[in-house]
Amino acid sequence: MAWIVLGIAVITEIAWALTMKWAATQASWSAASVPLLLNFVNMGLLAFAMRTLPAGTAYAVWTGLGAVGVAIMGVILFGERLNAVQIGFISLVIVGVVGTKLFASA
């Protein structure tokens, strides 16, 4: 259950970062409130997952997959570019997250 909650936290982390970029292009309080709300949800889910999972494991997976997701979605949604070296290092982050999950005690 904790891993599922952590997965949802990763998705909200990605959504939070992407809405930060989106809100920066808008000039309204409602747009600014979206990332704020997502941040509260995100932190709550991460804290819930950390009740069972070790903090270092949960945080490493959350930040790693969040960064990868934002990089990929930045390409898809905002036309950002990644070069081959960046893709290689992003792949290393994924390998690190998989290794962290495989060797986690919980």
Instruction: Specify the pLDDT at position 70.
Output: 96
Instruction: Tell me: pLDDT of 13 over 90.
Output: yes
In this prediction, residue 8 has a pLDDT band, given cuts at 50, 70 and 90, of very high
16 within 8 A of 38, measured Cβ to Cβ: yes
What is the domain range of residue 61?
2-102
Q: What is the mean pLDDT of the chain?
A: 93
Say which DSSP state 50 is in: T
Q: Which amino acid is located at 5 in the chain?
A: V
Instruction: Tell me: pLDDT of 52 over 80.
Output: yes
Mean pLDDT for 73-83 is 95
Instruction: Tell me: pLDDT of 106 over 80.
Output: no
Counting the structural domains of the chain, the total is 1
Instruction: Specify the pLDDT at position 103.
Output: 84
In sequence order, what are the residues at sequence separation of 6 or more whose Cβ sits closer than 8 angstroms to the Cβ of residue 81? 75
